[in-house]
Amino acid sequence: MGMEIKARDLIAAGWREDARMGMVLKRARELEATGLDRAGVLAALEADFPKLALRAELRSTPAGCSEAIAAETPAEIASVAASRARMLELLHVPVIKRGALMPDTCPAGAGIATIPVGGAIEVENALLPGAHSADICCSMFASFFADNRPVGELMDHLWASTHFGAGGRPRGKQFYSTLLEEPVWDNPFLAGLQGRAREFLGTQGDGNHFAYVGRIEFTPDQHRAIARAGDTDLAAAIERREGGFHVLVTHHGSRALGANVYKHGMIEARAWMRQNATSIPEAAAWLPADSREGRDYWAALQFVARWTRVNHALIHDEFLHRVGLRPLAQLGNEHNFVWQRGDAFYHGKGATPAWRDAKGRPLLGLIPLNMAREILIVLGGDNDEFLSFCPHGAGRNLSRKAMLAPYRDAEGDIDPARVKQVLAETTGGLDIRWFNGAPDLSETPLGYKDASKVKEQIERFQLASVVGEIHPLGCIMAGQAAEPPWLQKKREKRAAHKAARREWTTENEE
């Protein structure tokens, strides 16, 4: 073999003299030590460190964007306009081929090029961590089971099976899976996270995540549609079971594991941007899918997806064990993730895949609307006009802060009595529970878009076809921590003072 490869040789071969040069040279030494000739070393380096002749820049005009949404009220129009503005900023990014907005679209932040909820993009040879967001693989999972015991008893078992709130499960109550022993922890995006993966198994977090018990009966037409789609387990269960099913549905993401993978992914993508691109917004930073970093990140995403699916299954297994039953059928789907179809990478933020598999069968999916409404079981329409996605839920017309504003008094407090009244009006007859002790008004049906409109638009734009509706019986969400006694006394004292002041004002006016 000839003399070892120098930096000048790499520059002559087409690599830029940038911060990666040291890594490229180090890898060259490793390859030379294996006995490869110069041509072999250069070919291997190209696979690990693709050459870029030019720095990537924003396009002058955005890629196309289709909208599967019909805004009518002022709040809906404003929400869609804000989502559209962020999406158009994102579509100037050169690796993005086109985009789409779903019926549940709403802004996910005010940062430039921040993909909105209900946003989907088709991307060429790139992975954008910001386009799947920090809650990687936020997803749905359903277990169908035959049972006729009281709803309250089922909800008690569910309460004992799941865990909401910050942090992992308490010591002594942690779950285990052989997934934790997979040889993945040398992946740079997963390094040091094995403990977090273990600690957070069996947890659901907070925000809009939930555990929901419902009831479903399938019509003969729905049964036939599911059978034709090739979901043999569910079709067989429907055929055996007259009178319908109870269904447990959970919604959550990858918890601290995914949040840390996302954080590391954003750091690496932004570092890559600094060396290889100009003026790309931070929210749109990417890693080339065929680079070493891109391949590692892709592998980490696949593990996070497996972990999240196992996490759902463990909670369902615990619940079903407590009630002494086995699932008759199970199904699930992701809505914050990256999927590869052919040569393209499809990114969704709150967007559910609604395409056909390699055998031409439409995917079964789950779309929740709110805690007091049905969860839809759908078959994907594979409508290419909208990138073959459908919504992940009902979305919001107002941010949580804006939605809560009318319910706050002059001091910024929400009267618990009013919350109780709202819950009675919007969720009456359902077993609604808050794991942290107090209700979260922003997670009641008041916080979400009109569920009937979202459902109608799914069909109007031919995103998916509804083949079942799981009707609610009970729902657990994280809620808010209960008010400590000292704060409750302070509130009562302040209320008494306000009442006295009103009385004094009334007397003096008379």
Which pLDDT score is estimated for 1?
47
In DSSP terms, which residues pair with 476 in a beta bridge?
A: 211, 433
Look-up of token digits 């899918």: 289
HEC string of 149-183 equals CCHHHHHHHHHHHCCECCCCCCCCCCCCCHHHHCC
Which pLDDT score is estimated for 8?
87
User: Distance between CA atoms of 327 and 304, rounded to whole angstroms?
Assistant: 24
Report which residue type is found at 420.
K
User: Distance between CA atoms of 450 and 346, rounded to whole angstroms?
Assistant: 27
**Annotated binding-site positions for GMP:** 335-336, 368-371, 392-395
Cα dist from 48 to 106, 294, 302, whole Å? 38, 10, 20
- Under 8 Å CB-to-CB from 444, ≥6 apart: which residues? 370, 371, 372, 422, 423, 426, 427
Q: Long-range CB contacts (< 8 A, 24+ apart) of 227-233?
A: 229/361, 229/362, 229/364, 229/379, 229/467, 230/359, 230/361, 231/329, 231/331, 231/364, 233/328, 233/329, 233/330
pTM for the predicted model, two decimal places: 0.86
User: Distance between CA atoms of 460 and 238, rounded to whole angstroms?
Assistant: 28
**Annotated binding-site positions:** 209, 251, 335-336, 368-371, 392-395
Which pLDDT score is estimated for 415?
83
Mean pLDDT for back-to-back runs of 10 residues, the chain (510 residues): 79 75 86 88 84 76 96 94 96 97 94 96 97 96 94 97 93 92 97 96 96 96 94 92 91 97 98 90 96 96 98 98 96 96 96 92 95 97 97 92 87 85 92 95 94 96 97 96 62 64 63
User: Distance between CA atoms of 67 and 385, rounded to whole angstroms?
Assistant: 9
User: Distance between CA atoms of 44 and 37, rounded to whole angstroms?
Assistant: 11
Which pLDDT score is estimated for 494?
67
Q: Are strands 287-288 and 126-127 parallel, antiparallel or unpaired?
A: antiparallel
DSSP 482: P
Catalytic residues: 392
Task: Please count the other Cβ atoms lying within 10 Å of the Cβ belonging to residue 81.
Answer: 11
